[in-house]
Amino acid sequence: MTQPDARRVVVTGMGIVSPVGNTLDAAWDALLSGRSGTGPITRFDASGFATQIAGEVRDFDPRDRLDAKEARRTDRFIQLAVAATQDALAHAELKITEANARRVGVLLGTALGGIETAERELRTLAERGPGRVSPFFIPMFLADMGSGYVSIVVGAKGPNFATLSACASAAHALGEAAEIIRRGDADVMLAGGAEAPVTPGSVAGFNALGALSTRNSEPETASRPFDATRDGFVVAEGAATLVLESLEHAVRRGAPILAELRGYGATGDACHIVQPAPDAAGAAEAMAIAIERAGCTPAEVDYVNAHGTSTPLNDRLETVALKRVFAGHRVPPVSSTKALTGHLLGAAGAVEAVFTILALTRGVIPPTWHLRTPDPACDLDYVTDGPRPATIRHALSNSFGFGGHNVSLLFSRFEE
């Protein structure tokens, strides 16, 4: 149901660190020009692995954001989260002071947290014994430390925790952060997600599930959402943070308002640990809830940024879900930006929320690159003919995770 008396939540700033770029403009330019962020793995020796490709963040030095000592004491996912949040605050022209710190919270999602640290320290334990394990192992590894450490760096003293729901983690973070603002527990929430899963254990584990693309000879085009030749997702790293504010707070400080987060739908499949429900009912219901709570109708949705992972089952069932929720209406144009970024797991929902808002504000739908061979089971308008100019009033961003987690966020063009 709609919430007419609840506080409106707007987006006033965004920051991104991703395989396609470490600024909003660089990432957006890559999406429109088709510049892929996936390639051969360089973060470890992947020879012998079934998958040897990933989406890696390039040209990132944590010492540009943290002093050398702190950079050594933080996992890569934390470092990426700090960078994205610092950039989001700058974009929002927001300064956190003692006067407002208690009204600014942090909520960042992740799926694997400090997996790079965990793998390294467990190797140390096995090879050199318990006395050589770092005293920073646990603080670097804990999944909540993205939110916790960011709050320390920026000085935010409001609500602070992490969401962990696999590939829906960052979308859950954004939705729950909006609810915190709506109920009056904060005026500002720094929300999003961070992930650094390009590690031997992560790649080997996803390979064991049969989830990853093994198209190693075509690293830049291996991610092919909705294409008949898709063979799995390309794992990727990165982070994105959105500054969410109550409308009253944003107006009072004269903040730049980018979009409004009007709808948040979250459901569970209660079906399978890694596969979506075969009827796609949970995913469809999440979208329907987001649309209804936004006070919209399906006919008013102009664009869907799909979860679109490039896995055979997910893409087919997301298509089924879209047909269910838009039954009787035209299914709006759909695209999956994972074709270029790869799949950022727990950070994907935040990165794709950024892209959804850029599509809203710039009036262009980024295409689904690498979709060349139509799949009869995926028969929607996936925008494959290059960037498509469009007037977008309302847009959905979907995120679905292992464990049956479904989240849909509805962003709208801001109107007084």
Return the active site residues: 167, 307, 343
Q: Residue 282, Cβ neighbours under 10 Å: how many? A: 21
CA distances from 361 to 11, 58, 85, 276, 405 (A): 12, 27, 21, 32, 29
Q: Would you say 145 and 108 are in contact if contact means Cβ atoms under 8 Å apart?
A: no
Start-to-end C-alpha separation, the chain? 21
The residues pairing with 21 across neighbouring beta strands, listed in sequence order, are 18
CA 276 and chain centroid, separation:
18
In contact, 11 and 258? CB cutoff 8 Å = yes
Side-chain half-sphere exposure of 104, counting CA atoms within 13 A: 21
Q: Is the dihedral of CA 198, 204, 210, 213 positive or negative?
A: positive
Q: What is the DSSP letter of 17?
A: E
Q: State how far the Cα of 403 lies from the Cα of 407, in Å rounded to an integer.
A: 12
Spatial distance between the Cα atoms of 226 and 216, rounded to a whole number of angstroms: 19
Both tokens of 325, joined, read 């929720």
Q: Which regions of 76-130 does DSSP assign to beta strands (E)?
A: 104-109
Nearest 10 degrees: Cα torsion 286, 38, 26, 362? -30
Give the tokens for residue 48: 């012998």
